[in-house]
Structure 1
Amino acid sequence: MRTALACAVLMVLAFDSMAQGTPTAQVEVHFDHPEHFRDASLRGPGYQRGADAEVMKVLTAHLQKLGQRYLQPGQQLLIDIRDIDLAGRYEPWQQQAYDVRFMREITWPAIDLSYSLTQPGQPVQKADEHLSDKMYLSRPGRLGSSDRLFAEKAMLDDWFRQRFASPPAP
C-alpha cells in the first residue's frame, strides 16, 4: 500500500515538473481608465460611468480561460480594454425596477480593446478592435442562463475563437 502511494506521489511530481518545463499560453488583461468606461457596472441604479471590480474580475477570468483553450503553448496575449458598454440599460423611470438592467434590441454589448500577441519565432501581432453583438438577444442558451455577463462572454468567445483558434487540421 505504501509503495503504491509513494509511486503515485512520484508520478504526480514528475508530471508536474514536466508540465512546468513546457511553456504555457498566457493572457494578461489591463483596463485602461475603467472609471471612464461608458457602462461597465452591474450595480445600479441609473447611468453611472465606470467599471466595477466584479465586472473586471469576471471578464479577466473569462479571457484567461479562453487563452488556455485557444492559444498555443508559448503564446502570450496582452489585452488592453479601453471601454465597455454592457448589454442592456438601467431604466430608472421604471417603477419598482430602477435597478434592473433591461435588455432591448438597441442596447447591445460593446467592448473597445487592443491586443498584442507574441509567440516564439514570430513577429508580434497587434490590432485595435471594436467588438459588438447586435444580435445578442437571439443567442442560443441566453434564456436559460443566469449569468449576468452572458452576452459579453458570448461576444468575447466569438472574437477569441475567430482571432486566435488554430485552424482545423486537414
Structure 2
Amino acid sequence: MRNAEDERVVAALGRAGVQGLAPGEMPLFTQLSEAYFARGVRLERSDRDALLGFGLDAAVVLLTPVVLEACRQLWGALSARAAERAVEGAGGLLSRIRLRLGRAGAPPDGAARVEFSAEELALLRTEVTRCAADLALTEAQQRLLADAIVGALAVPSPALPAGE
C-alpha cells in the first residue's frame, strides 16, 4: 500500500475490526499497524502467528496483522470496483463527446443530437479546471478555459435534419 490516504483508511477499518475481535490488542495497535505498513504487505505464516515473548508456554497470536491485511484487500477490491464503474461512466461520456463533435473535432453536418446533464457538465468543468491548474494557469485562466470547453458542450446540439 503506497498511498498514505489508503493506509489511513485501512488502519481505521483495521482499528474497528481489532476493537471488535481482539480488544486486548488495542494498546499495541498503533505500533503493530505502523510495522505492518512500514515493512510492506506480507502476510506470511510468521506474521499470522506473531508471538509475544511472555514465557515459553504463554504464546499469544496477534490478530492485528490479519485484520489489517483483510482490510487492505477489502479496500483494494472496493477501489478497483469504483475505478471500473468510473471508467464505464467515463467511457459513455467520452463516446457521447465524440459523437457530438464528430471525427474531426467539429460538429459535422447533420451531427447527432447529444445533450449532457448538469452533473456531467459539472464533472467536465472540474476536470478541465484540475488539468488547467496542473498546467500552472492562473485561476482566471482556469475558469476561462473551463467556460470555453464546457460551454461548447453545454449549448444544445443542432437538431438532426428531417428524415434522419
TM-score with structure 2 setting the length: 0.25
Of Structure 1 and Structure 2, the greater strand share is in 1
Q: RCO (CA 8 Å, sep 6+): is it higher in 1 or 2?
A: 1
Structure label with greater radius of gyration: 2
